[in-house]
């Protein structure tokens, strides 16, 4: 990863980033807003979040959505809509497949099969930050992430976060 991007991510997070592999998505302002991380940290401990949202402006906007009750509504829809549930299961499967491929590329042991993918997938809506990160990194992969992303304001419109 480019050293400038690493420094931007460090500033966004307020700490040194861990397990960085690549910028997975860039904000319209040009800065990274989602990074791809290794499935295991340098010390070998599991890190199941392959796509990590780094932009504090996007994170704040998503936090507002979470506080609005959107997660509860999406969870209810997930239980009542078989097509949405199937698409969410497919998002989970995509995430695990990509995470396993990243482990293989890094020469790491894949994470256990029973370990979560991210954001509560495939049965719960637990973290919109993670679901939006997946959708930004892999457009069209995550239907819940897409709905949340579509509900967000243009967090970049008043300039870059760092």
Q: Are 111 and 39 in contact (CB under 8 A)?
A: yes
Q: Are 24 and 136 in contact (CB under 8 A)?
A: yes
Lookup result for tokens 């293989």: 104
Please state, as a whole number, how many other Cβ atoms lie within 10 Å of the Cβ of residue 151.
15
Q: Does pTM top 0.85 for this prediction? A: yes
Residue 57 placed within a domain: yes
Residue 35 placed within a domain: yes
- Give dist(CA 115, CA 141) in Å, integer: 20
Q: Is 140 left (phi over 0), alpha (psi -120 to 50) or beta?
A: left
Q: Are 81 and 148 in contact (CB under 8 A)?
A: no
Buried b (16+ CB within 10 A) or exposed e, 8-27: bbeebbeeebebbeebbbeb
Please report, in tens digits, the pLDDT of each residue of the chain (162 residues total).
Answer: 899 999 999 999 999 999 999 999 999 999 999 999 999 998 999 999 999 999 999 999 999 999 999 999 999 999 999 999 999 999 999 999 999 999 999 999 999 988 888 999 999 999 999 999 999 999 999 999 999 999 999 999 999 999
Coil, strand, or helix at residue 26? strand
Residue 160 placed within a domain: no
Angle at 37 between CA 74 and CA 44, to 5 degrees: 115
Residue 156 placed within a domain: no
Residue 162 placed within a domain: no
Residue 136 placed within a domain: yes
CA-to-CA dists, residue 116 to 54, 70, 95, 121, angstroms: 20, 21, 10, 7
Residue 141 placed within a domain: yes
Number of domains the chain is built from: 1
What are the structure tokens assigned to 107, written together?
Answer: 């020469």
pLDDT at 116: 81
State the residue range of the domain holding 84. Answer: 3-39+47-151
CA-to-CA dists, residue 145 to 25, 48, 63, 69, angstroms: 14, 17, 13, 15
pLDDT at 98: 97
Residue 90 placed within a domain: yes
pLDDT at 84: 98
**Cβ neighbours for 90, distance < 8 A, ≥ 6 positions apart:** none
């Amino acid at each position: 990863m480019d050293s400038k991007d690493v420094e931007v991510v460090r500033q966004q997070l307020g700490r040194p980033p861990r397990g960085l592999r690549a910028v997975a998505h860039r904000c319209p302002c040009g800065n990274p807003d989602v990074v791809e991380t290794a499935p295991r940290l340098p010390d070998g401990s599991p890190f199941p979040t392959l796509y990590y949202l780094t932009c504090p402006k996007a994170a704040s906007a998503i936090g507002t959505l979470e506080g609005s009750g959107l997660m509860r509504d999406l969870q209810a829809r997930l239980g009542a809509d078989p097509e949405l549930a199937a698409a969410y299961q497919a998002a989970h499967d995509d995430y695990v497949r990509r995470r396993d491929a990243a482990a293989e590329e890094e020469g790491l042991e894949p994470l256990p099969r029973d370990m979560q993918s991210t954001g509560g997938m495939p049965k719960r809506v637990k973290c919109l930050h993670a679901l939006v990160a997946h959708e930004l990194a892999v457009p069209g992969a995550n239907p819940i992430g897409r709905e949340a992303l579509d509900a967000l304001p243009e967090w970049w419109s008043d300039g870059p976060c760092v």
